[in-house]
Structure 1
């Protein structure tokens, strides 16, 4: 039986928390998509063992309805669009909330420990397989449209300035803004049925691990101006700047 990892090894196996997701050993920039490409043969040989272990960990932490592990825990080749490297990744899709973040971090850590120990006695090598737990809204198609509310648009210029000030006050987003927009934005195909949302895109240099405090500050500001019902979405997306220039 393999010996338990040392404390120093355990510290290296901690999940990295981004916005509505936790990953290991790195937090790759979205969008990431699972391709139809077959897994490498040496990973196919142990696929069932890896999925079984991952699903046991997810069930233990209880952040998916019992039985959904078979549907929402998978292992596939994941690629950064459009031409990024393809990396075998255990992907868990689960509902997100601020309270669930530490639970996800524990689960990702346990999966990383398993994969590290498993690599000592199987066909895989350390680092062959990545792990990510992610909210469904970061994977689903998104629909957006303009907001047909003149009064809100009159107030938007002032609110947009305050959002910009918040972004410039944190190292993770200072000088890295691509776009700020106000839309009806979400996963519903009827765009007008989606909630009003402040959409923020930033350049790839923005450190996603720092977004939690940025978004918390923006939410506090919105409450102060009576916009507490407006959602916030932030993502890496350099392309939007060209559209709005």
Structure 2
């Protein structure tokens, strides 16, 4: 097994007043040559946006973009005419494909919103832009990993244009989780939303992360009540 550790306090940080953003990987003015991506996982930003503020209309292409609100709600608009609210327990995915323009604002005028903005390199380029959003019952991730994004069409969860899986879990202390890759050559990136766990000989706490690859199975020991995001992606050369 190979591994890489990204501690919470090692992330890049930007404070724009209306936006506070922690960057796990190189993004905007934060650049670390050894932290460009983990396989097909390119961006994992932990963003908090003040009430009434947000990201104005801007373009993307050839990227799979995932938004996961952790607290509060987002308001999404794009140039296809779509206008959506994304709430806690919702997950949004947008295939930018050949090109799309969108905005993302805090849906509240007064309360902050905290959400994860995640980018994954696509499997196929220049596909037709597409958008999906789905609500997931948190009871279905109690003491287990709940798949919310999959490359398998019509699987009952969100579809991604990549051999990637996203899972969320909420675990009691004392639980164990067995990880196995879905496909050969895949790696798993574990991001601790809050809590504490042990994996691959490492102890991870809130907002710490570990990437593992070249493994057949890995055991995660939950040592405190923990919320966890697992992202499985191909390990690109």
Task: Judge same fold: TM > 0.5, yes or no.
Answer: no
TM-score, normalisation: structure 2 = 0.29
Max radius of gyration: which structure? 1
TM-score, normalisation: structure 1 = 0.29
